[in-house]
Amino acid sequence: MKRLIVVDNPAEWPLSRGEDGEVISVASYLDPAEPWPGRGVRVFNLARSYGYQTRGYYVSLLAEARGHRVIPDVRTIQDLNAPGFVRFIPTDVEELVQKSLARIKSDDFVLSIYFGENLAAQHQALARALFRLFPAPFLRAKFGRGQKWNLRGVRALSLDEIPPQHLEFMHQAAQRYFSRKRYPPERSDRSRYDLAILVNPEERDAPSDRQALQRFVQAARRQGFGVEFIGRDDYPRLAEFDALFIRETTSVNHHTWRFSRRAQAEGLAVIDDPDSILRCANKVYLAEVLKGARIPIPRTEIIQRGQRRPALERLGLPCVLKVPDSAFSHGVAKAHTEAEYLELTDRMLEASDLVIGQEFVPTGFDWRVGVLEGEPLFVCKYFMARGHWQIYNWASRHRSDFSGQYETLAVADAPPLIVQTAVRAARLMGQGLYGVDLKEVDGKPLVIEINDNPSVDAGVEDKVLGQALYDAVIAALRRRVDARREGERK
C-alpha cells in the first residue's frame, strides 16, 4: 500500500522519506490536476490545522472521496472539534485515566501523544488508549481533578506546536510507527479484498478456537480475501480493510462495540454489526422485543429496586436472575429462597437499574440454532455441565466439569418448530450471524436468549456442514463488500 505523508511544508518533515513514504505538500495533495490513484493509498495528514473547512480538513475529506485510507479521517476530526465529546469516553479508558494519573500531585495535567506514544513510560497505556479513540498523529489531552480525574479535552497538534524538547522523541515515535509491518504491499490483483478478524488470544473460551479461525481464513482466501488477525490496539487501522469479522466476545461498553461501530461508519462489511451487538447484548431489550413479537419465552420480569417483591410473587421460586448485559452464563444466578433472591438482586441492582428475572425451566440440554442472514445454518444440543444447571459452570476447577457435552444435527433433522422459532427471533435482531438458545418443554420452544457472537468451534458447530459453514459466513461478508462496491460504481 502506497504511503503519502502530507505536510504544509515538506522541508519540515525530518525523517528519512524513502522509508516513511512519499512526503508531499498539502497544496500538492489538494491540487485537482494531480493524478492520484483511487485505491491502495494510505494518507497521513499532518496539516497544520484540522479546523472545519481548513486545508487540513479538506485533505482528509478528499482522501475519503478518492478512496484513500486516511489518518485522521473526517469522523475523527469532527470528534476532536466537537465540544463535550470527551465526556463519552468508555469505562475502560476512564479507569485507565485514574490509574495513570494517580501519582500526579497537581490538579491539572497535559498529556502529549505522538503516534500513540508518550515520553513517560507510566503514561504509555493511556496514550495508546486515547490514540485508539482519536486516531490522529499528534494529540494533546488535558485533564483536571475534582473528586477524580476527568478528561477535559483532546485536540490535534500541528508540527509547529510540538515543543522543541519533544521533537527527538516524536521523531523516534514516528519511526517506530512507520517501521511496523502494518501495511501489506500493494497487490497486483486490485479485485481482492482485505478482511480483518478481531480476536483476543488471552480470552478464555473465545467464540472460535484456533482451528475454527484457520478454517475461516481458508474460506476467506478461497473467496478472494487477504486476511489479517487484529487486536484491540489496531483500532486506528480499521479503514485499511474492506470487512471486519469479530471473533471476540462482544459487549456494548467495550472495545468490540467501538470496532464494530467504526467499521460500519467506514463502510466496511461487518459481523457483528453494532445494532446486533446493542440488541443482543441487553436482555431487557430482548425480553421486550420477543414479548412484543409474541415469540414464546419463559415467564419474565423486568425488576426495579422498588418492585422486587411483586416481581418475585409473579416469578415464583426458584428463579433465574440476569444482569442485562450478561454473556456466556456470566452475570446469571439462580435464587432458591426469598433471602437469596433479595441478596442477588441487591448486588445486581448496584451495577444496573434494571435486572431480568425469569422462571426456572429445568431441562437436560438447550437447543442452539445458528442463523445467518435470516436462514438457519446449524443446530446443536448443548447439555448441562455435570452437576450444574447451566451449560457452563464457571465455578468449576476442572475442565471436565466446566461445560457439558454437545450433539450437532443437520437443520433438516431438528424439530421444525425449534428451527422456525429461532429464525423468527433472529430476524428481529437483523441480518447478521446469531446463535439462538431455546429450551423445549412438552415439545414447545421457549427462547432463552439471542447471541450476536455465537460459538463456532471446530468439531462442534461445524460437525455436520464442515468447511461449508465457514464458507457461508465468509460469503455473506463478500456479498456485502460486493454490494458496497457496486453502489460506489453507480
- Please write the tens of the pLDDT for every residue from 332-347: 899 999 999 999 999 9
pTM of the predicted protein model: 0.68
pLDDT at position 382: 93
Burial (Cβ within 10 Å: 0-12, 13-18, ≥19) of residue 300: buried
Q: How many CB atoms lie within 10 A of CB 487?
A: 9
Angstrom distance (rounded) from CA 348 to CA 329? 14
CB contact set of 103 (below 8 Å; sequence gap of 6+):
122
Q: Give the closest residue to 272 by CA, choosing from 248, 245, 253.
A: 245
In this structure, what CATH number is given to the domain that contains residue 205?
3.40.50.20
pLDDT at position 41: 83
pLDDT at position 208: 96
- Is residue 72 domain-shared with residue 91, that is, in the same domain? no
Q: Which of 167, 182, 211 is the last residue of a domain?
A: 167
In a domain, 451, yes or no: no
In a domain, 23, yes or no: yes
In this structure, what CATH number is given to the domain that contains residue 40?
3.40.250
Q: Which residues of the chain have pLDDT under 50?
A: 181-191, 394
Which domain does 256 fall in, by range?
Answer: 193-272+476-489
- Is residue 64 domain-shared with residue 6, that is, in the same domain? yes
Q: Which of 307, 341, 359 is the last residue of a domain?
A: 359
In a domain, 219, yes or no: yes
Look up residue 319 and give its three cell numbers.
428463579
In a domain, 136, yes or no: yes
CB contact set of 292 (below 8 Å; sequence gap of 6+):
none
- Is residue 256 domain-shared with residue 308, that is, in the same domain? no
In a domain, 282, yes or no: no
- Please write the tens of the pLDDT for every residue from 199-225: 999 998 899 999 999 999 999 999 999
Radius of gyration of the chain (CA): 25
Question: From its phi and psi, is residue 224 left (phi > 0), alpha (psi between -120 and 50) or beta?
Answer: left
pLDDT at position 186: 41
- Structural domains counted in the chain: 4
φ, ψ of residue 364 to 5 degrees: the values are -80, -20
pLDDT at position 423: 98
Angstrom distance (rounded) from CA 427 to CA 190? 35
- Give the relative orientation of helices 338-351 and 308-315 as an angle to the nearest 10 degrees: 130
pLDDT at position 440: 95
List the strands of the sheet with 225-230, edge to edge: 225-230, 193-198, 243-246, 269-271
- Is residue 199 domain-shared with residue 262, that is, in the same domain? yes
In a domain, 108, yes or no: yes
Q: Which residues of 444-459 are buried (b: 16+ CB within 10 A; e: fewer)?
A: ebbbbbbbbbbbbbbe
Q: Which of 38, 59, 78 is the last residue of a domain?
A: 78
pLDDT at position 396: 56
